[in-house]
Amino acid sequence: MAAQGLMLTLSDIAAQLGGDVLGNGQTPIWRVATLASAGVGDIAFLANRKYRAQLQSTQAAAVILAPSVAEEFSGPRIVVANPYAYYARVAGLLNPVHQGFSGVHPSAVVASALPPGVAVGSHVSIGKGVTLGQGVVIHPGCVIGDDVVIGAGSVLYPNVTIYHGCRIGKRAIIHSGAVIGADGFGFAPDGRDWIKIPQIGVVVIGDDVEIGANTTVDRGALDDTVIGDGCKIDNLVQVAHNCHIGAGSVLAGCTGIAGSVTLGEHCIVGGAGMISGHVTLAPGTTVSGGSLVMKNITQPGLYTSVFPIDKHEEWVRNAAHIRRLSHLAERVSELEKKLKEISSND
């Protein structure tokens, strides 16, 4: 069971978030919960129709419902077009983030003027020429390089590193261990040696972006690496130098994006998806988890390149057939030519 948050009535919630209240608007709500686990003081939601039958047995104090099923629950309810998104907003309303500290900790090393209202935790290092917006929260152990800009309302969790010159928009959330602006993987071959190419671009992150724990976004070699407004990036994701990630795109955990990739707006890459360098994905493209993208995708849609799991012996046998496909295609082409010759002779 989730921890108890603030207490609001259904009418309080609707007044702040919208929606139509049916039933007792004074029903007290403390927590959000699933239909199966909800009890007194809990508000549940129905977003997946396969759980529809649980509306008859749930013990929830209230339920968030779409208009099409609003009459299938007789208790107090809020009716909205998108119950899942509404549930997310209710959860945020009942569980506001508590940073646990305020002001600038005495152990922080700060070489820039800070505006009032920012919170800087213990052992934070802030370089020269840094600009922080109102309400920025920097948790313990973070390192902010020279000339970094962080927009109002952004939160950096412990041990985030922002390299010099990078720019982060408003209301960003960057989780522990993330590294923004490390050098891109750029080396020029010179015989048996590799000559490091200076990475002189920066990382530019838009507004309302969330970046997961231990994710890395590399600075550009010449141009900047850009993460558009509203992008959501999961844990352990690699975004290489010079990438442009379109606004509203989502990258699930362990995704790897090579250099100079361009994702259009509202692309989705499933967990462990891999995008080869210099590839462009059309806006609205979805890549299934574990897929490898090696060429441009020009039309939006769902794309998958995962080879289905099988018993090892069967997988090896099928893989051997796949390796022979080009040879088989040539033989089929030859046979088709012979058939045409025979038909023409007849």
One domain for residues 88 and 47? yes
Average pLDDT over residues 151-180: 98
Tokens of 226: 């850009």
One domain for residues 195 and 263? yes
Residue 117 is assigned to a structural domain of this protein: yes
Tokens of 266: 């509202």
Give the CATH number of the domain where residue 60 resides.
3.40.1390.10
Alpha-carbon gap, residue 63 to 301, rounded angstroms: 33
pLDDT digits (tens, 9 = 90+) for 80-119: 999 999 999 999 999 988 878 999 999 999 999 999 999 9
Q: Check whether 175 has a pLDDT greater than 80.
A: yes
Q: Check whether 60 has a pLDDT greater than 90.
A: yes
Average pLDDT over residues 38-46: 97
Residue 101 is assigned to a structural domain of this protein: no
| Residue 340, C-beta contacts closer than 8 angstroms, at least 6 positions apart | none
Write down the pLDDT at residue 35.
97
| Residue 248, C-beta contacts closer than 8 angstroms, at least 6 positions apart | 228, 229, 230, 231, 265, 266
One domain for residues 117 and 246? yes
pLDDT digits (tens, 9 = 90+) for 236-274: 999 999 999 999 999 999 999 999 999 999 999 999 999
Catalytically active residues, by annotation: 241
One domain for residues 89 and 230? no
Write down the pLDDT at residue 308.
81
Residue 340 is assigned to a structural domain of this protein: yes
Identify which of 67, 69, 45 has the alpha carbon closest to the alpha carbon of residue 58: 45
Alpha-carbon gap, residue 159 to 290, rounded angstroms: 29
Domain holding 240, by residue range, is 109-303
Task: Please state the φ and ψ torsions of residue 225, each to the nearest 5 degrees.
Answer: -85, 130
Alpha-carbon gap, residue 275 to 249, rounded angstroms: 14
One domain for residues 152 and 13? no
One domain for residues 194 and 271? yes
pLDDT digits (tens, 9 = 90+) for 287-343: 999 999 999 999 999 999 988 889 999 989 988 888 888 888 899 999 998 888 888
HSE, CB side, 13 Å, CA atoms: give it for residue 114: 21
Residue type, 123: H
Q: What one-character-per-residue DSSP string does 35-56 give?
A: TTT--TTEEEE--SGGGGGGGG
Write down the pLDDT at residue 98.
80
| Residue 49, C-beta contacts closer than 8 angstroms, at least 6 positions apart | none
Q: Angle, nearest 10°, between helix axes 325-345 and 312-323?
A: 50
One domain for residues 114 and 83? no
Write down the pLDDT at residue 319.
86
One domain for residues 44 and 88? yes
Tokens of 102: 């305020």
Domain count, the chain: 3
Q: Check whether 144 has a pLDDT greater than 60.
A: yes
| Residue 212, C-beta contacts closer than 8 angstroms, at least 6 positions apart | 175, 178, 233, 234, 235, 236, 237, 253
pLDDT digits (tens, 9 = 90+) for 268-287: 999 999 999 999 999 999 99
Q: Token match 């040539």: residue? A: 330
pLDDT digits (tens, 9 = 90+) for 196-235: 999 999 999 999 999 999 999 999 999 999 999 999 999 9
One domain for residues 138 and 244? yes
One domain for residues 252 and 272? yes
Residue 102 is assigned to a structural domain of this protein: no
What sign does the dihedral 167-186-212-231 (CA atoms) show?
positive
Summary mean pLDDT of the chain: 95
Write down the pLDDT at residue 97.
83
Identify which has the larger pLDDT, 2 or 271: 271
One domain for residues 299 and 332? no
Q: Check whether 140 has a pLDDT greater than 80.
A: yes
Write down the pLDDT at residue 3.
52
Residue 62 is assigned to a structural domain of this protein: yes
Residue 99 is assigned to a structural domain of this protein: no
Write down the pLDDT at residue 251.
98
Q: Token match 């004074």: residue? A: 26
Q: Token match 């009716």: residue? A: 79
Last residue of a domain, one of 69, 94, 119: 94
